[in-house]
Chain A
Amino acid sequence: KAGVTQTPRYLIKTRGQQVTLSCSPISGHRSVSWYQQTPGQGLQFLFEYFSETQRNKGNFPGRFSGRQFSNSRSEMNVSTLELGDSALYLCASSNPVVGASYGYTFGSGTRLTVV
């Protein structure tokens, strides 16, 4: 079955612009989570969506937002880009059941460079 698909793979934006990243989860997976990965901070959790509702949120400013559609596809948006937003943005999908023994499947990420 198809994996998690993130588009685009690479993006270059200018400071002050906004950007939208897309994630298509594995078919049947209803939970989509977003992470920011940088060399300095490692993997940081942005937010999680489940059945079109944001269920968990990390410690990021309001410039970072997301949404999930009825087909479980998710988008994240970053407004007023700053140089420090340059990072690899990873999306992960899962099909959670009661308990926490499930794993996540990650996409290959979107490499965002802000200049």
Chain B
Amino acid sequence: GNSVTQMEGPVTLSEEAFLTINCTYTATGYPSLFWYVQYPGEGLQLLLKATKADDKGSNKGFEATYRKETTSFHLEKGSVQVSDSAVYFCALPQGAGGSYIPTFGRGTSLIVHP
């Protein structure tokens, strides 16, 4: 079935540093790809998505490009802030026939220091 693999964390950065969190996927066809973020004490929030190859999803300064050649969907941000400290999850749907369930990576913890 479909699956995603994320880089292990934690990723520790100073404020204003460049962020990359790697995500690669294994899938049948070209499913939509998602990044979710979980802030401390909260549930997951959809951060961005891309629905087809070469699409770029973006939100709150974060970007990710759907690359079918490398089966990747890496999350990037040019200048992180302390408030970006959270756990980030890469996800893709699993299923068929109109019924799809997101399958999540293990999550990557990001810690940003002032």
Contacts and interface: CB of A to CB of B under 8 A. Distances in A.
Interface of A: 4, 6, 33, 42-43, 45, 48, 50, 55-56, 90, 92, 96, 98-101, 103-109
- Shortest Cβ-Cβ A-B pairs, 9 listed: A106-B43, A100-B93, A100-B100, A103-B46, A106-B44, A101-B32, A101-B51, A43-B104, A42-B106
Given A101-B49, A103-B46, A108-B43, A55 B99 contact: yes
Contacts, number: 56
Nearest to B96: A100
User: Could you tell me the dominant secondary structure of chain A's interface residues?
Assistant: strand
Of the four ranges (under 10, 10 to 19, 20 to 34, 35 or more), the interface on chain B belongs to 20 to 34
Interface of B: 31-32, 34, 36, 41-46, 49, 51, 89, 93, 95, 98-107
B62 to A, nearest CB: 15
User: Could you tell me the dominant secondary structure of chain B's interface residues?
Assistant: strand
Nearest to B105: A42
Contacts of A48: 99, 101
Nearest to A41: B106
25 contacts: A42-B106, A42-B107, A43-B44, A43-B89, A48-B99, A48-B101, A90-B44, A92-B43, A96-B99, A96-B100, A98-B98, A100-B32, A100-B93, A100-B100, A101-B32, A103-B34, A103-B46, A104-B44, A104-B46, A104-B102, A105-B46, A106-B43, A106-B44, A107-B43, A108-B41
B32 A109 contact: no
